[in-house]
Amino acid sequence: MSSTSARPARARSAEEKHQRRDDILRAAERLWTTTSYAELSMNQVAREAGLAKGTLYLYFDTKEELFLALLSEHLHRWISATADLFLERQPRTPEGVAAVLLHHAEHLTPLRRLLVLLGTVLERNVRPELALEFRRDLDQQLRRLVGHMPYAPDTAMRVLRHLYAMTIGWQQLSESLPGTDPVTAQLRAPQDTDLYGEFELALRAIVGQLAAGTLVAS
């Protein structure tokens, strides 16, 4: 059953169109908490948003395009909040920089899950011009964030690249950590593994070594 009451088939004003688009994104996000990406369909999103399927396609051509927009929204929110935190705290030590980057990290599971999809599914299945637009927008946003970090731009960007790589890796580990279940022979995650603590340890080490210039360039 849809969690949103049905609306007229077509939004007319710019404000109505913006609201309709937001309704679609929120519907997809709600469904994604209980349905895997592979199983989630545009039909389900349309029903959840209280829209006809044809109306959904006025805003997003494909499921990949919809989820790329959702990822863009989450990235904008995180980059903006993190840039503001750098501006507020003005950290000057590796520990301070890591603390800013780790701020609210435990609550960023939706963003981490979307980042896992980015390189494996989303960018490979959207129109090339849309993928290019996404990358250009992300680059512009990241340059803004780099400008607030207390390092030279190249070093700051290296920190963010490592953060991105670790985010994807640790999210995948949180979903299926090496360790074989004796019954199913499938990978499992031990209950006593502090994944966030391990992620924090890795990030602090990387930031510390990059800031000191002791990490060997790859």
Two structure tokens written together for 54: 């044809």
- In 3D space, the residue among 125, 156, 163, 138 whose CA is nearest the CA of residue 75 turns out to be 138
- In 3D space, the residue among 152, 129, 142, 168 whose CA is nearest the CA of residue 211 turns out to be 152
The fold adopted by the segment(s) 1-60 is Arc Repressor Mutant, subunit A (1.10.10)
Q: How many CB atoms lie within 10 A of CB 93?
A: 12
Q: At what angle do helices 153-175 and 94-102 cross, to 10 degrees?
A: 50
Residue type for 62, please?
T
The pLDDT, as a whole number, for residue 13 is 81
Write down how long the chain is: 218
CATH of the structural domain 62-212, one choice from 3.40.50.300, 3.40.605.10, 3.40.50.1000, 1.10.357.10: 1.10.357.10
The pLDDT, as a whole number, for residue 171 is 87
The structural domains of the chain, with segments of one domain joined by +, span: 1-60, 62-212
Q: Which residues have a Cβ under 8 Å from the Cβ of 135 and sit 6 or more positions away?
A: none
Q: What does the DSSP 8-state code read for residue 106?
A: G
Q: What is the 3-state secondary structure (H, E, C) of 28-62?
A: HHHHHCCCCCCCCCHHHHHHHHCCCHHHHCCCCCC
DSSP 51-97: --HHHHTTT-SSHHHHHHHHHHHHHHHHHHHHHHHHHHH---SHHHH
Each of the 218 residues of the chain gets a pLDDT tens digit; together they read 444 444 555 667 888 889 999 999 999 999 998 899 999 999 999 999 999 999 999 999 999 999 999 999 999 999 999 999 999 999 999 999 999 999 988 788 899 999 999 988 998 899 999 999 999 999 999 999 999 999 999 999 999 999 999 999 888 887 765 554 544 444 455 454 677 888 899 999 999 999 886 444 43
The pLDDT, as a whole number, for residue 10 is 63
d(CA 173, CA 217): 25
Q: Is the pTM here over 0.85, yes or no?
A: no
